[in-house]
Amino acid sequence: MSALIQVKNITKKYGGLIANNDITFDVSENEILSVIGPNGAGKSTLFKMISSFTPTTSGEVYYRGERISNLKPHVVARKGIVRTFQETTIFKSMTVRESVVVAQHLRAKASLAGYFWGSKTAKADVAAFGRYADELLEFLGMSEIASELASNLPQGNLRALGIAIGLATDPKVLLLDEPFAGMNHDETMNMVNLVRSVRDERDVTVMLVEHDMPAVMNISDRIVVLNFGEKIAEGTPSEIQNNEKVIEAYLGSADDEIGM
């Protein structure tokens, strides 16, 4: 397996606070890799740097050997690395279908002026966007709520909408920000299956940041563990479950417990 994304020695400092310190790992093509860690471990910051939503203080991120850190978010999205957000980040007053249609921006072949004048390419684009939106919503099992306003959706559907918007861009790598947060067991299992089918049927490499341990252990091929901005472990779910440093980070060391 070749490395699709290489995270090389990235560090992020906010003033004196070190959010990420010298983190290095690879993401292979077609794998599901989770980044876990206690609150404040720097998971979200790491994601923001990979998608260029925030610049690195030092270090680089490469996609197929091409640097993708310290660019503009839309440039990274154009290369096929697309992130999703937590549930509050949606197009509130668009319907589900409208959101998915608008998100196909990168697939557009006609120019903006072409859309204004109604050129042939633009009309073909519009038709193709509609078809793909319907297909995608069908794939995600969201056809029934296609004409619902995003602001009227319950939490579980919002998460799926976020993934639908991300998928509509036709990404190579999808970065999911806490896709299981606030879900009950059944919803989580549905989402786990959904993310798997995205990887299996659409050849999308998935990276996710998550708190829900059972779901992470279930879904991940590999896991990277952060604690206080440092990478403390990397490996398969079973390796991580038996890693002493990880157990310590989550449960506290025996000494700490006595101290409490």
Partner 1 sequence: MMGFSGKQLVGVGVFLVAIFVGVPLLINVTGRWDFYFTLTSVALLSIASAGVWLTFYIGRINIGQGAFALIGAYVSAILVVKAGWSFWISLPAAGLFSGLVAVLIGLPILRLRGVYFAMITLVLTQVVTLTALALSITNGAKGISNIPLPSGVAIFGIPLVPDFGAMENTKLAFYLTACLLMVVTYAALYRLVNSRLGHLCRSMQQNEELASSIGVNIAYIRVVIFTISSFFGGIGGAMFGSIAQSVYPSTFVVADSVNFMLNCFLGGLGYVFGPMLGTLVLYFGWDLLFEIGKYQMLVYSLILIAVIRFLPNGLLSVRLGKEGKK
Binding residues (CB under 8 A) for partner 1: these are 51, 53, 72-74, 77-78, 82-85, 89-94, 98, 101-103, 105-106, 108, 110, 112, 115-116, 118, 122, 125-126, 165-166, 168-169
Token pair listed for 183: 């879900």
Query: Phi and psi (nearest 5°) for 201?
Result: -95, -20
DSSP-derived 3-state class of residue 141: coil
Instruction: Considering the complex, state which of residue 82 and residue 206 has its C-beta at the smaller distance from partner 1.
Output: 82
**Which residue in the block uniquely carries the two structure tokens 């038996």?**
242
What's the min distance (Å) between Cβ of 54 and partner 1?
Answer: 11
Contacts of 164 (CB under 8 A, 6+ apart): 96, 99, 100, 103, 136, 137, 140, 142
What's the min distance (Å) between Cβ of 5 and partner 1?
Answer: 17
What's the min distance (Å) between Cβ of 73 and partner 1?
Answer: 4
Query: Phi and psi (nearest 5°) for 169?
Result: -80, -5
**Which residue in the block uniquely carries the two structure tokens 């049927």?**
201
C-alpha closest to that of 4 among 30, 25, 29, 34: 29
What's the min distance (Å) between Cβ of 120 and partner 1?
Answer: 13
Give the DSSP H/E element, type plus range, for residue 21: strand 17-28
Instruction: Considering the complex, state which of residue 171 and residue 229 has its C-beta at the smaller distance from partner 1.
Output: 171
Token pair listed for 93: 């007053």
Check if the beta carbon of residue 226 is closer than 8 Å to that of residue 37. Answer: yes
C-alpha closest to that of 125 among 99, 147, 104: 104
Token pair listed for 189: 């299992």
Instruction: Considering the complex, state which of residue 21 and residue 54 has its C-beta at the smaller distance from partner 1.
Output: 54
The secondary structure of residue 20, as a DSSP letter, is E
What's the min distance (Å) between Cβ of 152 and partner 1?
Answer: 14
Instruction: Considering the complex, state which of residue 19 and residue 176 has its C-beta at the smaller distance from partner 1.
Output: 176
Gap between the Cα atoms of 54 and 211, Å rounded:
22
Gap between the Cα atoms of 115 and 118, Å rounded:
5
What's the min distance (Å) between Cβ of 26 and partner 1?
Answer: 23
Instruction: Considering the complex, state which of residue 170 and residue 248 has its C-beta at the smaller distance from partner 1.
Output: 170
Instruction: Considering the complex, state which of residue 94 and residue 216 has its C-beta at the smaller distance from partner 1.
Output: 94
Instruction: Considering the complex, state which of residue 53 and residue 132 has its C-beta at the smaller distance from partner 1.
Output: 53
What's the min distance (Å) between Cβ of 247 and partner 1?
Answer: 35
